[in-house]
Amino acid sequence: MNKVPNRKGKFIVIEGGDGSGKATQLALLKDYLEKAKIPVQTIDFPRYYDSFYGKVVARFLKGEFGSIKEVNPYLVSIVYALDRADAKADMNKWLEDGNIILANRYVPSNLAHQSSKLPPKERDRFLQWDMELEYEVNKLPKEDIVIYLHVPHEISSKLVKNANRKGRQYLGSKGKDIHEKDKDHLKKTEKIYQYLSKKFPHWVVVGCVKNGLLRSREDIHKDILNVLKSKKIL
């Protein structure tokens, strides 16, 4: 995996299905680090408004290029990857300067969402291909840890339905993107996320639901801090 020369910082990725509270937990963690006088930078992927490639991703998610089944996951993965690659210089500089990077989604999102569209026997080959593209060909910095916020898809769908859609102006009046509209896709993607969390040792699952109810943001935040401290990230 690609290593940033003179890398002094740490790279934390927060993953999870739509409605799992990624942005909320990123904000809480950012606030914690700032109060502790720890240098921190944040970034959200895809960058729908700040990147040429991110704008193409937005068009894909609006369905302009076809449905989930009509767009080849290998091809759309390249566009997502180029959006991330376009931010590589900034991320490398942040790490060299000793910052902690907090990313709301990163390469793992692509691994989960795009591989879920393929037959099970083809998924591992896709995972290897995508990681080669991102980390070897595009030389993206490798994350130190992935925090996967797990919310069962049937609960996640309800949260998305009732959520404040701030930051989703790229969808216009559509409300949901083509991934969010497809319940079967969300179910498959949840299973892939769980598979990845067992496959890669730097992944940690944080359960966000207890007895069918969403846990408080404060309790989830405490769990994340405990994980980061136990893994020597903080």
User: Does residue 233 contact residue 143 with C-beta atoms inside 8 Å?
Assistant: no
| All structural domains of the chain with their residue ranges | 10-230
pLDDT at 7: 76
pLDDT digits (tens, 9 = 90+) for 97-148: 999 999 999 999 999 999 999 999 999 999 999 999 999 999 999 999 999 9
pLDDT digits (tens, 9 = 90+) for 1-54: 455 556 799 999 999 987 789 999 999 999 999 999 999 999 999 999 999 999
Structural class in CATH, domain 10-230:
alpha beta
pLDDT at 1: 47
User: Does residue 109 contact residue 15 with C-beta atoms inside 8 Å?
Assistant: yes
The type of residue at 213 is: L
